[in-house]
Structure 1
Amino acid sequence: MAKGATDFAIVADIGGTNARFSRVRLTDLSLDKVQVYPCAQFASLSDALQHYRQQEQLFDLLDVAIAIACPVQGDVVQMTNFHWTFSIQQMRSDLQLNTLLVMNDFTAVAMCLPALKETDRIQCGQGDVQLNHPMAVLGAGTGLGVGHLVPLGSQQYLPLPGEGGHVDWAATTEQEWFIQQFLAERYGHVSPERLLSGPGLEDLYQAIAAYQHKTVEPLSAADISRHALAGSNELAEQTVAQFFASLGSVAGNLALTLSTLGGVYIGGGIVPKLLPLLGSSDFRQRFEQKGRFAGFNERIATFVITADQPGLTGAGMYLKQTIISQPQGE
């Protein structure tokens, strides 16, 4: 890449509540000029981006990559949990951009994996990373995001976003069979997201209480996490233990689905906050507990992503790959 402004681009990570923007240096994917705005502050994503460019005086940067928390299929993008709707081509034209790349937020998280430094991840359990093999990523937050990343050679990667958080969840213990029925009565279809999310933690707390024939007041996911970390509520500790056991099973399924010898990575907002409880949980045991294929999963490394802005970094990684692969003169 030429020196100067073209070394840099703008990346964004757009959720239902907040919009994060940053400048990224495409040579090393370092981030600076990070700003976080409430989405409700702006009538449109275009307005938010223009405000950021003006605030940071970045009108010379004409390459932009946006990770957004909704499906991206075609030109028109409509957010799931906010009212912003836009045409990618129209927005690119209106803002006179050279490149406007819009992707699902977990496409961006998957793309960040090759850029993670040792300090950006913490390994849980045994296993080794085999280079040039597929990787998997999942993240529990408001929902459960799932994706894969396939190396194509020459520092090129193919992200495979999907809706794996909404497949059928499989119970494997007596307590889990009870949880299955508890959640089925409440929701009908029981998916991994029904357990492995903020709302899932809250439902798990109620389900385990019912399994133990206890009547308890509802607790928020934040309070369950706080009590579990402090050891001040036994039911909260049991809830987090069940959460990690189920997370291990689902992560192990992802590993088998695409033979992710490049590793399985856990992002999202919940697990990093509960990290002190992960090592003593059944996460890794359940990850490997795959019958005749237990030995297969034993070889696969599992990590928790601790990087501050994986979505922004992944958007930058995807933009860098896209720009480099474009024919000269475009």
Structure 2
Amino acid sequence: MSQRFIADVGGTNIRLALVENGRISLIKKYLCTEFDTIADAILFFQNECTDTGFTEGCIGIACPVNNDLVKMTNHTWEFSKSALQTQLGLDALHVINDFTAVAHSLPTLNHNQVIAVGQGKAKDKGNIAVFGPGTGLGVEHLTWTSKGWQTLDGEGGHVDFAPTDENGLIVWQYLQNKFGRASAEEVLSGRGIVNIYNALAEAKGMEKQFSDPADISENAINNSDQLCVETAQQFCRVMGSFAGNLALNLCTTGGVFIGGGIVSKLGKFFVNSDFRAYFEAKGDFKEYVKDIPTYVIDEPDHGLLGALAFLLQQSKRTIEDE
């Protein structure tokens, strides 16, 4: 009996699942730091969850995957795709960017798995964008073709950060001084929250009390520290501007989706923030984006669902080619 697996690999966690009858049947989550290599993690999962070896797998991972050698951006793991396939004894191994996986999940989500933020209604088979602030910043676009949904890969999280207000200029200058370049990921990520906090604290001559993004977010949500509130507000504003840029890039009438753990933890703070106002603040092109919907993905397993969708799509193509 053939046994397949899927994986969603971020800078902090690896989520692994079995695939049975075209569905996810079991999910396990591990810290990446618990294993020296990704092969160790997959083999541990295999030994823990099944009596047989895997025959096929799909890995969505947070880094570029264009070459045989895969090196994670925000973790130490690196591996050869071909060598990993041999080591695991697989007939086939698919390695895709983690946001390629997320993108493939979007057409499978229903209204109970997303939260709409602001106005707009998605057009059937309209272009889609998705991004997610987490350990890093993943970005992907999705477009409909004669062969079904096709992702447009890239590294959109590493584009230049463009400030749109006074606090944005403060953050831009802070990043420019610190790194010699201000990228979107250095603002829209866990460490990005800390960068915003530090930049605003220095500009206001205030003491820095927090260095953990979770602490900053928690104090913002609880309204217990004004600088944390201002930091989270700026984070949401930058996110809105960035999302609006993605909408302009590819006329995403199918919607702009937001994944990653940070936004879901912000919850109502994000929904009630200036995100949507900054999304629509595109000058003469406000009318172009105002009817484009924006959604927060409210499905914790969307990365795995996307890896599954990609795996099943590849299996279907293989059958059709035979």
TM-score higher than 0.5: yes
Residue correspondence of structure 1 range 9-88 to structure 2 within 5 A: 9-25=4-20, 27=22, 30-57=23-50, 59=52, 61-88=54-81
Q: Which runs of 4+ in 1 moved over 6 A?
A: none
Are the structure 2 counterparts of residues 98 and 235 from structure 1 closer, same or farther at C-alpha, using a change threshold of 3 Å? same
Are the structure 2 counterparts of residues 202 and 83 from structure 1 closer, same or farther at C-alpha, using a change threshold of 3 Å? closer
1:173 aligns to 2:132 (yes or no): no
> Which position in structure 2 is the counterpart of 1:203?
195
Are the structure 2 counterparts of residues 82 and 224 from structure 1 closer, same or farther at C-alpha, using a change threshold of 3 Å? closer
In 1, Cα distance between the equivalents of 2:292 and 2:252?
7
The answer on whether the counterparts of 1:110 and 1:159 sit within 8 Å (CA) in structure 2 is yes
The answer on whether the counterparts of 2:74 and 2:136 sit within 8 Å (CA) in structure 1 is no
The answer on whether the counterparts of 1:175 and 1:211 sit within 8 Å (CA) in structure 2 is no
In 2, Cα distance between the equivalents of 1:298 and 1:61?
47
AA in 1 matched with 2:190: G
In 2, Cα distance between the equivalents of 1:94 and 1:208?
49
1:320 aligns to 2:308 (yes or no): no
5+ unaligned residues in a row in structure 2: which ranges?
A: none
What is the alpha-carbon root mean square deviation over aligned residues? Answer: 2.0
1:151 aligns to 2:161 (yes or no): no
Are the structure 2 counterparts of residues 218 and 60 from structure 1 closer, same or farther at C-alpha, using a change threshold of 3 Å? closer
Residue correspondence of structure 1 range 243-322 to structure 2 within 5 A: 243-322=235-314
Question: Higher mean Cα deviation, 221-230 or 35-44?
Answer: 35-44
In 2, Cα distance between the equivalents of 1:235 and 1:19?
33
Q: What displacement does 1:271 show?
A: 0.5
Are the structure 2 counterparts of residues 84 and 238 from structure 1 closer, same or farther at C-alpha, using a change threshold of 3 Å? closer
Are the structure 2 counterparts of residues 167 and 59 from structure 1 closer, same or farther at C-alpha, using a change threshold of 3 Å? same
> Which position in structure 2 is the counterpart of 1:129?
122
Are the structure 2 counterparts of residues 299 and 96 from structure 1 closer, same or farther at C-alpha, using a change threshold of 3 Å? same
In 2, Cα distance between the equivalents of 1:234 and 1:275?
18
In 1, Cα distance between the equivalents of 2:296 and 2:79?
33
Question: Higher mean Cα deviation, 173-182 or 189-198?
Answer: 173-182
> Which position in structure 1 is the counterpart of 2:101?
108
Question: Higher mean Cα deviation, 106-115 or 145-154?
Answer: 145-154
The answer on whether the counterparts of 1:132 and 1:262 sit within 8 Å (CA) in structure 2 is yes
Are the structure 2 counterparts of residues 26 and 185 from structure 1 closer, same or farther at C-alpha, using a change threshold of 3 Å? farther
Are the structure 2 counterparts of residues 225 and 41 from structure 1 closer, same or farther at C-alpha, using a change threshold of 3 Å? closer
> Which position in structure 1 is the counterpart of 2:181?
189
**Residues 255-274 of structure 1: CA distance to partner in whole angstroms, max 9, x if unpaired?**
00011111000011110000
How many residues are aligned here?
322
Q: What displacement does 1:299 show?
A: 1.1
Are the structure 2 counterparts of residues 329 and 124 from structure 1 closer, same or farther at C-alpha, using a change threshold of 3 Å? closer
AA in 2 matched with 1:292: D
In 1, Cα distance between the equivalents of 2:74 and 2:273?
33
**Residues 77-111 of structure 1: CA distance to partner in whole angstroms, max 9, x if unpaired?**
23334443332223323433232111111111111
Q: What displacement does 1:130 show?
A: 0.6
**Residues 31-72 of structure 1: CA distance to partner in whole angstroms, max 9, x if unpaired?**
231112333444432333233222222526522111112211
TM-score (norm 2): 0.93
**Residues 174-213 of structure 1: CA distance to partner in whole angstroms, max 9, x if unpaired?**
2222222222112221122121111111111122223333
Are the structure 2 counterparts of residues 26 and 65 from structure 1 closer, same or farther at C-alpha, using a change threshold of 3 Å? farther
The answer on whether the counterparts of 1:26 and 1:320 sit within 8 Å (CA) in structure 2 is no
Query: Residue 39 of structure 2: SS of its match in structure 1?
Result: helix
AA in 1 matched with 2:10: G
In 2, Cα distance between the equivalents of 1:207 and 1:177?
10
Picking from 224, 227, 231, the partner of 2:216 is 224
The answer on whether the counterparts of 1:26 and 1:316 sit within 8 Å (CA) in structure 2 is no
TM-score (norm 1): 0.90
> Which position in structure 2 is the counterpart of 1:233?
225
Are the structure 2 counterparts of residues 220 and 48 from structure 1 closer, same or farther at C-alpha, using a change threshold of 3 Å? closer
In 2, Cα distance between the equivalents of 1:47 and 1:175?
44
In 2, Cα distance between the equivalents of 1:173 and 1:41?
42
Structure 1 vs Structure 2: percent identity of aligned residues? 40
Question: Higher mean Cα deviation, 286-295 or 211-220?
Answer: 211-220
In 2, Cα distance between the equivalents of 1:70 and 1:262?
25
Q: What displacement does 1:25 show?
A: 4.3
